[in-house]
Amino acid sequence: MAILGSILKKAIELRGKVPPSRKTALKKQLTTLRQLMKKAEFTAFGDHYHFSKKLKEKNFHNTFRNEIPAHDYNSMFKNWWYRSLNGEPFVCWPNHVKYFALSSGTSESSSKHIPVTRDMLKAIRKVSMRQTLSLSQVDLPKEFFQKRVLMVGGSTHLNFNGTYYEGDLSGITTGNIPFWFQFFYKPGPAISKHKDWNTKLNDIVANASKWDIGVVCGVPAWIQIIFEKIVEHYKVNTIHDIWPNLRIFVSGGVSYAPYLKSYEKLTKFPLIILDTYLASEGFMAFQTGSNINGSMKLVLDNGIFFEFIPFNDENFDADGNLKSEPKTILINEVENNVEYATLISTCSGAWRYLIGDTIKFTNVDECEIIITGRTKHFLSMCGEHLSVDNMNRALTLAAKDLNIEVGEYTVCGIPHKGLFAHHWFIACDEKIDGNLLKSKIDEHLKILNDDYRVERGHALKEIFVDVYSHEFFMEFMKQKGKLGSQHKFPRVMKGKILDDWQHYLKKQTN
């Protein structure tokens, strides 16, 4: 086995030293768009929008952007994807769509069905390998490369609906991992099939001492629960007493920062955190082993074409809905520290599709980004323009000031004395003065966000903070049927999910 570790480490080092392509970012993107349009040329979508004709034009990318409308999920599904769901081939992408990923649905009343083609599965594996190759930039012993990888996601037991399989994207991708990776993968096919989170959790804990885990992949909140249960079950001090070779945590979906203090108590030494931007629509960016600032490198040549929309009042309404005919820019036109929403066209048959995330470029030359939130997960009741990134940072700094552990939280905007207020709900199992926590959050937000600072002296008259246990938050997720897997607690609540939360609060506190 030591020989295998040496071979893998050497292979990764050699691949990691391959110099990057000389193509510019824009050329990579235009090549990707041409490949996508060429592949979908004879689909119903490609025929309707005359891909064959567009591909003959010199500035085909501009015609593509000008003549094809931007889509959100509802318009894409209503006009096109429902046909694939009914078994029709060659709708938005060649051949029959075998898999549909169910989104976590934190902001919608029901789950979305996102097509996942074989080309997309291949693209996801390719980016996963690129992130693995980036480990050549981290000083790891050769023995590390023979350790196991614990991947905690949705069930690999997918629902078959006559013409397609549906399930969590992590369950779909795990069920399609290459044969050579089966040796490294844990918890293994039997446990991964479990649909019930508690059953899966108990089986992972029961088998943990048998595995030599080097890498853990999953959502921070659920991985934290696994670590806590293992430490409690085996009566040890940290997770490293069970998995001494654990070095890397591949995180995705939410910021790791609010969980940092909790993880410090569960580990003997800090883990290397590698963020990923893997959504149901595709694997868009990843953090390399050498990038310690938390930014992720956008993947520009692997089946996804990006357009960027400045996230402002000109392009989005007060509820975060995209206005008609937004002006988009391409990768060569973006600027650092400007918030953008993204339209993507992909090898799963999404075309000029609003994915709903907001990002900022931290280094335009290296095409490095951070995720700042969601187009509908932000607060701007009176012009405060508060992003999830602002909220994460303010809460993390406040927790550090008070030496407390926080994890889940959510914020909503409410009317207050004829004007407005923000109401925070925060998970903390320690005894804490809510007023002191409120003042610390408010203080940091005023520094982080100038618009917030201005509005706190005008229309945003107050903020409220209520503190509950972590279990209180988890019970809400359980009642929503979103316990474990890749589900995330919504950072901003609006609409029906806010109504459900308020009903839950009333029921639990009476």
CATH number of residue 504's parent domain: 3.30.300
> Which of the listed residues 322, 341, 376 is the one where a domain comes to its end?
376
Q: What digits encode the pLDDT tens for the residues 345-365?
A: 999 999 999 998 999 999 999
Chosen domain end from 327, 353, 376: 376
Output the average pLDDT for the chain: 87
pLDDT tens track for 254-300: 777 778 888 999 999 999 888 899 988 999 999 876 666 678 999 99
For residue 375, the model assigns a pLDDT of 81
Its pTM surpasses 0.85: no
**Is position 471 within any domain?**
yes
- pLDDT tens per residue across span 167-193: 888 888 877 776 666 678 888 888 988
Is residue 365 assigned to a domain? yes
What's the domain count of the chain? Answer: 2
Question: Is residue 53 a part of any domain in this protein?
Answer: yes
Same domain, yes or no, for 344 and 458?
Answer: no
Q: Are residues 105 and 184 in the same domain?
A: yes
Query: What pLDDT digit, counting tens, does each position of 200-253 carry?
Result: 999 999 999 999 999 998 888 889 989 999 999 999 999 999 999 999 998 876
The pLDDT of residue 253 is 64
Q: Are 439 and 367 found together in one domain?
A: no
- Here the tokens at position 297 are 């490198």
Residue 286 resides in a domain: yes
Is there a single domain that holds both residue 247 and residue 393?
no
How far apart are alpha carbons 385 and 474 in whole angstroms? 28
Residue bearing the bigger pLDDT, 505 or 104: 505
On whether both 64 and 192 belong to a single domain, the answer is: yes
Q: Name the more confident of 110 and 342.
A: 342
Please give the pLDDT value at position 104. 55
Residue 383 domain-assigned? no
In this predicted structure, the answer to whether residue 100 has a pLDDT above a threshold of 90 is yes
What is the amino acid identity at position 409?
Answer: Y
CB 460 within 8 A of CB 422: yes
Q: What is the pLDDT of residue 193?
A: 86
Tell me the two tokens of residue 38.
């060429």
Residue 397 sits in the same domain as residue 350: no
Among the residues of 86-240, which ranges form H helices? Answer: 118-133, 169-174, 189-192, 197-207, 220-234
Pair 115, 228 in one domain: yes
Is 78 part of any domain?
Answer: yes
Q: Name the 3-class secondary structure at 151.
A: strand
| Pair (241, 111) in one structural domain | yes
Residue type, 339: E
pLDDT-wise least confident of 9-18, 156-165, 198-207: 9-18
Angle at 177 between CA 172 and CA 182, to 5 degrees: 130
Domain assignment of residue 207, yes or no: yes
Residue labelled with tokens 């520290």: 337
Whether 288 and 398 map to the same domain: the answer is no
Residue 418 belongs to domain spanning = 388-509
Last residue of a domain, one of 327, 347, 376: 376
Residues 6+ apart with CB under 8 A from 335: 361, 364
pLDDT, average across residues 26-53? 97
Starting at the edge strand found earlier in the chain, the sheet holding 213-218 runs 185-186, 148-151, 213-218, 248-252, 272-279, 282-286, 296-298, 368-374, 353-363, 339-346, 304-310
pLDDT digits (tens, 9 = 90+) for 435-466: 999 999 999 999 988 889 888 988 899 999 99
pLDDT at 9 over 80: no
- CATH code: domain of residue 50: 3.40.50
- How do residues 419-428 score in pLDDT, each as one tens digit? 889 999 999 9
Strands 113-116 and 409-416: unpaired
- Asked if the structure places residue 31 within a domain, the reply is yes
Do residue 289 and residue 429 come from a single domain? no
- pLDDT score recorded for residue 20: 45
Give the per-residue pLDDT at 181.
66
Sign of CA dihedral 245, 248, 252, 257: positive
The answer on 400 and 340 residing in a single domain is: no
Q: How confident is the model at residue 374 (pLDDT cuts 50, 70, 90)?
A: confident
Element (H, E) at 21: none
Q: Let me know whether 345 and 415 are in one domain.
A: no
